[in-house]
């Protein structure tokens, strides 16, 4: 079953203690799609300018990502973001954000996308997230991300969007802001009352926590020996998590996804996030294999079992 991914496709300029790249492929939908493509067929919905390089189209196509929904605006320029990371890479400062064609992004889904059962909404304006979901005629499971900006300036629209979702994937500071609760468990309890069946709270290098009503699963982060560039790691987590679930499909009996599969999905999400950090931008996905993913999953088991 295919996963429809909506969000930004961008060019990024990134500086970390390990180096500096002025312009390279980035964007949430890019990272999500690349990570998810190891588990399930992916169909992307995004917008780029006519500066979008053929080499980058080729990379996405090489992972069999369906690009029918990648709109190209003639005369337009692709979204550009640049930032610099702190020495420990736990903080970053945005240097420049040129929304360009992304400012007027109004996602229209190709007919071939609309009957797919899995939808993952990257961090875009909540009203747009709703309009995308409304175009999906056969959607069974929707996952979505958001950010502090929308929680601050578009809370009612965001709450309307979240109410329709099955999975919400956000980071810990967003969870605190959204719920008004500092304690993670209490924040999660409040957010689950907003509608989603499951909530994944990403905690960066410290892993992630999966909550559903009455139970939770805590996964530590994978310890990398070298983090080159953390850009996109959270999106790769989301892509690995939801891609794994889409690849597994829906329980024929109950029409649902069981919690044990969701736990495994969190680990696959962590695995994909960890690979993302090993090279600049999307570079690790140029040669990453499913065998390496499985090996790291087993390594995760080995270093967390007791």
Residue 87, token pair as written in the block = 């020495």
Look at residue 282 and give its three-state secondary structure.
Answer: coil
Q: How far is the CB of 10 from a copy of itself (least distance, A)?
A: 28
Cβ proximity to a copy of itself: between 55 and 305 the closer is: 305
Binders of a copy of itself: how many residues, by CB under 8 A? 33
CA separation for the pair 236, 63 (Å, rounded) = 14
Cβ proximity to a copy of itself: between 97 and 301 the closer is: 301
Site string for a copy of itself, 147-186 (x = CB under 8 A): -----------------------------------xxxxx
Cβ–Cβ under 8 Å, residues 46 and 33 = no
Cβ proximity to a copy of itself: between 96 and 182 the closer is: 182
Rule CB under 8 A: say whether 19 interacts with a copy of itself.
Answer: no
Tell me phi and psi for residue 13, to 5 degrees: -110, 125
Cβ proximity to a copy of itself: between 10 and 219 the closer is: 219
Under the phi-then-psi rule, with left for phi > 0, alpha for psi from -120 to 50, and beta for the rest, what region is 65?
A: beta
CA separation for the pair 109, 70 (Å, rounded) = 9
Cβ–Cβ under 8 Å, residues 273 and 233 = yes
Cβ proximity to a copy of itself: between 224 and 250 the closer is: 224
CA separation for the pair 68, 120 (Å, rounded) = 17
Q: Which residues contact 196 (CB under 8 A, 6 or more apart)?
A: 162, 165, 166, 167, 168
Q: Which residues pair with 96 in a beta bridge?
A: 82
| Binding window for a copy of itself (CB under 8 A); candidates: 20-28, 42-50, 199-207, 283-291 | 199-207
Tell me which residues in 84-103 interact with a copy of itself (CB under 8 A). 87-88
Q: How far is the CB of 257 from a copy of itself (least distance, A)?
A: 14
Tell me which residues in 219-278 interact with a copy of itself (CB under 8 A). 219-221, 223-227, 260, 263-264, 266-267
Look at residue 102 and give its three-state secondary structure.
Answer: helix
Cβ proximity to a copy of itself: between 182 and 253 the closer is: 182
Listed residue (57, 45, 55, 102) closest to 79, CA to CA: 102
Q: How far is the CB of 290 from a copy of itself (least distance, A)?
A: 19
Cβ proximity to a copy of itself: between 37 and 270 the closer is: 270
Q: How far is the CB of 16 from a copy of itself (least distance, A)?
A: 12
| Binding window for a copy of itself (CB under 8 A); candidates: 58-66, 112-120, 210-218, 272-280 | 210-218
Listed residue (120, 117, 124, 127) closest to 160, CA to CA: 127
CA separation for the pair 140, 165 (Å, rounded) = 10
Residues near a copy of itself, by CB under 8 A: 87-88, 182-186, 203, 206-207, 209, 215-221, 223-227, 260, 263-264, 266-267, 301, 303-306
């Amino acid at each position: 079953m295919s996963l429809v991914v909506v969000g930004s496709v961008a060019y990024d300029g990134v500086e970390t203690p390990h180096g500096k790249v002025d312009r390279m492929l980035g964007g949430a939908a890019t990272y999500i799609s690349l990570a998810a493509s190891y588990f399930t067929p992916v169909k992307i919905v995004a917008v780029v300018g006519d500066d979008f390089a053929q080499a980058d189209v080729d990379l996405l196509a090489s992972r069999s990502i369906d690009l029918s929904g990648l709109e190209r605006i003639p005369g337009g320029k692709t979204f550009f973001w640049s930032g610099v990371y702190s020495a420990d890479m736990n903080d970053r400062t945005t240097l420049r954000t040129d929304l360009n064609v992304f400012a007027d992004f109004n996602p229209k889904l190709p007919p071939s996308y609309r009957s797919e059962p899995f939808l993952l909404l990257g961090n875009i304006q909540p009203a747009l997230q709703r309009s995308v979901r409304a175009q999906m005629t056969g959607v069974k499971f929707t996952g979505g991300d958001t950010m502090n900006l929308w929680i601050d300036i578009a809370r009612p629209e965001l709450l309307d969007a979240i109410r329709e979702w099955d999975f919400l994937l956000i980071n810990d500071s967003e969870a605190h802001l959204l719920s008004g609760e500092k304690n993670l468990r209490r924040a999660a309890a409040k957010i689950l009352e907003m509608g989603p069946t499951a909530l994944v709270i990403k905690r960066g290098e410290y892993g992630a926590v999966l909550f559903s009503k009455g139970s939770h699963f805590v996964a530590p982060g994978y310890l990398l020996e070298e983090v080159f560039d953390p850009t996109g790691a959270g999106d790769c987590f989301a892509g690995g998590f939801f891609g794994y679930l889409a690849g597994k499909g829906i329980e024929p009996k109950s029409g649902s996804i069981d919690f044990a599969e969701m736990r495994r999905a969190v680990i696959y999400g962590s695995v994909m996030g960890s690979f993302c950090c090993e090279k600049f931008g999307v570079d690790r996905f140029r040669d990453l294999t499913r065998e390496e993913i499985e090996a790291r999953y087993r390594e995760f088991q080995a270093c967390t079992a007791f």
